[in-house]
Structure formats: C-alpha cells, structure tokens
Structure 1
Amino acid sequence: MDHLKLAYSLAGAFVGFMVGLTGVGGGSLMAPILILLGFSPAVAVGTDLWFACLTKAVGGVVHHHLGSPDWKTVGRLAAGSLPAAVVTLWWLANYHHGHLESKVLMDLLGVALLITAALMLFRNRIARPLRVAHVALEQTLRRVRFSQIVMTVLGGAFVGALVTLTSVGAGALIAVMLALIYPLRLDAKSIVGTDIIHAIPLTLVAALGHSWLGNVDGWLLGSLLIGSIPGIVLGSLIAGKVNDNIVRYALAAMLVVSAVKMLA
C-alpha cells in the first residue's frame, strides 16, 4: 500500500478527467508530472504510455456508446501511426539501449509540449481559412479527399513516432491535426471521440514495446489508474458541455509551464 501514493492517484484523476473532456492531456500532462515527481524520463514515458492506453480504453467505450468516433479516420491514422511506432521501438532497442539519454529526452519532450501548446492556441485561426478553401473546392472533391487521406496517414506516422519517444501527441497533436484536415466533416465531439479511439492501439503498441525495453513501473501505474478511471468517465460524459476556449487556454498554459520545466 505504500506504493499507492495519494498524490499519484490525484494526478491520475486530474489527467484522466482532462483526457475524457478534450481528448488531450494524457502524455502532454502526465509525463511531465511524473518527471517533476522524481521519476526518470524513460520510466515516466513508458509508464505514461500504459496509463494513456488503459485510461483511454475506458474513455473510448464511453465515446463509442455516444456514437462520436469517425471510424474511417481512425483507420487512416492507425495506418500511419502503428508502423511508425514499431519502427521507432526497433530503433530505440538497437541504437539507444531502449531509451534516449535523459537530457535529450527532456529536451524533445519540452519542444513537443511547446508545439502542442502553440497548435492548441492557434488552431481556430488556421482552421477558418481551411474551411473556406474546402467549400471553394467542392467541385474537385475527389482530389480533396485524396489529399486528406495522404495527410492523415503521414500525420499519423509522425505522431506515432513522437508518441513512442515522448508519450506526447496521441491526444493534442491528433486533435489539432483533425480539426485542420477535416474542418467540415468532423465537429468537436467527433474529433475527441476519434482522437481517443485512435490513441488506444497506438499507445498499446508503444507501451508493450517500452515494457519489453524495461521502462515501466507497475506500482506507479496502479496508483495512477486508481484515480484516472473515474476521472475519464466523468470527463467523457460532460465532453462538449464545457466552454472549449476556456479548456483550451488552460491546457495550453499548463503545457507551456511544463515545457519550460523540461527545457530548464
């Protein structure tokens, strides 16, 4: 019982709630929190991947019941992200003894958090002109659809590699990317559902790989899950009922603070 620290469970509840509410926050918030609590970056990333996988599996059940995921888009994302995750794990195992050096990983994590925060803040400004462009290109809809498929697969591959290295991106980057690529097809609720469902197989593959590489703390994971399961159920049930701008600005601010800590 000594291992089941209250602070870890509270952190799990907070992050789980944010994931259920927005689809964002799993790796972006949990990995920095674990590092700040004293865990090594490699263990923080590996344990966080299992946390994200199991937590989002619960949230995914809720969102599937509500009918919000776009399964075709989930498949396109997975076609890029899952192979990229496997290749990244092979690269870590064969060239970096299972994980990047702590300083390199901290810097990469900090940069990923800053990029995520910036995309969250400016998503709407970028999405509006894209929405206008999609309407104007209705006559060439087939060409637009092909470009969407290519961008989704390539974007999934980039996120798959980034998530495997840092545990960041499965939620925040995918959510922003979907809003930009599908400004007409996906509404806010569908983006959250699609984001969470896609993150389940991606984080599972990455988590299994990190377990094989020895980067997972099982007792810590149990402590986090005690809080996260009720947190993500609550967040998923009220998704779409909270002002999106308030949540987005608050998350972006937390990510910037975390990034500064990582890069310091």
Structure 2
Amino acid sequence: MTHFDPLYSLAGVLVGLLVGMTGVGGGSLMTPLLVLVFGFHPATAVGTDLLYASATKAVGTAVHGAGGTVDWKVVRRLAIGSVPATLVTLLALAALGTHLESTGRVISLTLGVALIATAVAIFFRRRIVEYFTNDRPPRPERQVAVLTIVLGAVLGVLVSLSSVGAGALGMTVLLILYPRLPTNRLVGSDIAHAVPLTLIAGVGHWVLGSIDFVLLGSLLLGSVPGIVVGSLVATRVPDRVLRPVLAGTLAIVGGKLVL
C-alpha cells in the first residue's frame, strides 16, 4: 500500500482533463502513466484502474439509462462473452501469480498492444467503419449476435489484463456490427457493458491483492474535477488537433511497453 502523494492526484487531474476533452477511457491514459512514470507493478496499475472505472462508468450508465440511450440486448450479448472470459482470465492470473515478473511482462505486453490498437481505432475509426459497412448487405441477425458475443469475450480478456479496450476498440466494432443503431445508443450500451466487466475484473484483482486503495483515492481526488473541467472546455479545442495528438501518444507509449 502506498502513501498519499499529491503527484498521483495531479496525474488524475491531467488524465481527467484529457478524458473530458476526448472521451477516451481513462485506462488508456492512466494505466501506462502509473507503470511508466510512477513505477507501479502492471498488475497494481491495472487492478486499481479497473475498480476506479467501474465506479465512474456506473454513473455514466445511470445517465444514459435515464435518457433511454442503452440497448440492453447489445449489453446482454457483450456480457455473455465478456463475463466468462473475464473469470477465466482472472483464474489464469491467480494460477500464474499476479506480482511475478513474468506476469508483469505479460500484462505490459498486452497493455502495449491494446494501446496501439486503440490509437489505430481513434485515428482511423471512420475509414474502418466505412470499409466494413459501405455497399455491403446487412449481416444476418444470428451472425451479428455471435460476433457480438465474440467481441465481448475478446474485451473480457483485454480489459482484465490491461484495463484497456472496452472504449475505442469496442465502439469501433459495435459501429460495424450495428450500423443502423444511433451512435448515442451504442455509446450508452458500451458504457453500460463496461460496468459489470470492470467491476468483476476489479473485484478479481482485489481478491488477488493487486488493488492500492490509497492510490485509488488519490486518483479520484484529481480526476473527478479534471473530467468536469475537460468536458467544459472540450468544445473549444478542435477535434482535428486532439485526435492525432492523442492517437500518436498512445501509439508511442504502446510501442514502448511492447518493446
């Protein structure tokens, strides 16, 4: 367990600002920051971020649910794949030992790959979605259901190992699978699915001993006001400037973790 350090709260403010301005999940920014800058073990960084994400996404789900922008059929399909995959991944981590050097390397490698994939999804999302949807006949409903479950399983493994993937990556694939659903309903569904996913994975990491509650409190102390301020100034910063800068940063950090 760490001691309180104002720098952790400052990091929370910076990440909160970026989350508020870009909408990118905090795990894509906070987890590599904890590993590379503050030197936390990858398992501790991932576990702490997961528990933090479950709380913040629960609030987001309540907002989207009240506004009717959650498609619970999509959420169920994702959860059918993600919950078992998360449990299996946690059991594998327990068998390996979360704080071993080899386990840390596996988590760092997964985090790096997930960050690079997230950078690609952020920068090329429109082109990717158009490539898979333009001039193509609608997929059969059964195929869509199966692919959604598979997506949930992939996200379950990725999020449990890296705390990254449920946001930019999940949304990109959902836009391909459900081109006729309004984007706000897909966003709401993605956030709603992230609640049980991050909660189960976070509690699993807690049981495995990879949660730092002092760090968690410090991050929340800074990130909550940071997200509020970032959301307020988001409209003043051009998306064409933020998107390539953010994608490039994630790609560089992901490459460093992989190498």
The alignment partner of 2:98 has SS state of: coil
Q: Report the AA paired with residue 104 of structure 2.
A: S
Unpaired segments ≥5 residues, structure 2: none
Amino acid aligned to 1:146: R
CA distance in 2, matches of 1:238, 1:62: 20
In 2, the alpha carbon distance for the partners of 1:199 and 1:245 equals 27
Cα separation, 2, equivalents of 1:11 and 1:228: 8
Asked if 1 retains the 8 angstrom alpha-carbon contact of 2:98 and 2:104, the reply is: no
Tell me if 1:211 matches 2:206: yes
Describe how 1:217-256 pairs up with structure 2 within 5 A.
217-232=212-227, 245-256=240-251
Q: Distance in 2 between matches of 1:30 and 1:13?
A: 11
**2: distance between equivalents of 1:239 and 1:198?**
25
1:26 — aligned with what?
26
Q: Which position in structure 2 is the counterpart of 1:69? A: 70
Alignment map for 1:1-264 (pairs within 5 Å): 3-19=3-19, 23-35=23-35, 36-94=37-95, 96-98=96-98, 101-134=103-136, 137=137, 144-187=140-183, 189-232=184-227, 245-264=240-259
In 2, Cα distance between equivalents of 1:255 and 1:150? 30
Q: 1:259, CA displacement in angstroms?
A: 1.0
User: What is the CA-CA distance between 1:83 and the residue it aligns to?
Assistant: 1.1
CA offsets per residue over residues 110-165 of structure 1, 9 Å max, x none?
Answer: 1121122112222211211333245xx35xxxx52222111111011011011111
Q: Distance in 2 between matches of 1:160 and 1:58?
A: 21
Q: Distance in 2 between matches of 1:233 and 1:57?
A: 16
* 3-state secondary structure, aligned to 1:101: helix
* Percent of matched pairs sharing the same residue: 50
Q: 2-side partners of 1:18 and 1:77: how far apart?
A: 27
Aligned-partner SS, 2:140: helix
Instruction: Measure, in 2, the Cα distance between the counterparts of 1:239 and 1:80.
Output: 34
Q: What is the deviation of 1:251?
A: 2.6
Alpha-carbon distance in 1 for matches of 2:145, 2:241: 31
Moved more, 212-221 or 12-21: 12-21
Asked whether the 8 Å contact 1:15–1:30 carries over to 2, the reply is yes
Give the length in aligned residue pairs: 255
Superposition RMSD on alpha carbons, in Å? 2.7
Structure 1 alignment gaps of length 5 or more: none
Q: Secondary structure at the match of 2:134?
A: helix
Query: Contact 1:20–1:231 at 8 Å: present in 2 too?
Result: yes
Note closer, same or farther for the CA distance 1:255–1:217 as it changes in structure 2 (3 Å cut).
same
| TM-score (structure 1 length as normaliser) | 0.84
Question: Is the contact between residue 26 and residue 171 of structure 1 (CA under 8 Å) also seen in structure 2?
Answer: no
Paired amino acid for 1:101: T
User: Mean alpha-carbon deviation: is it higher for 50-59 or for 83-92?
Assistant: 50-59
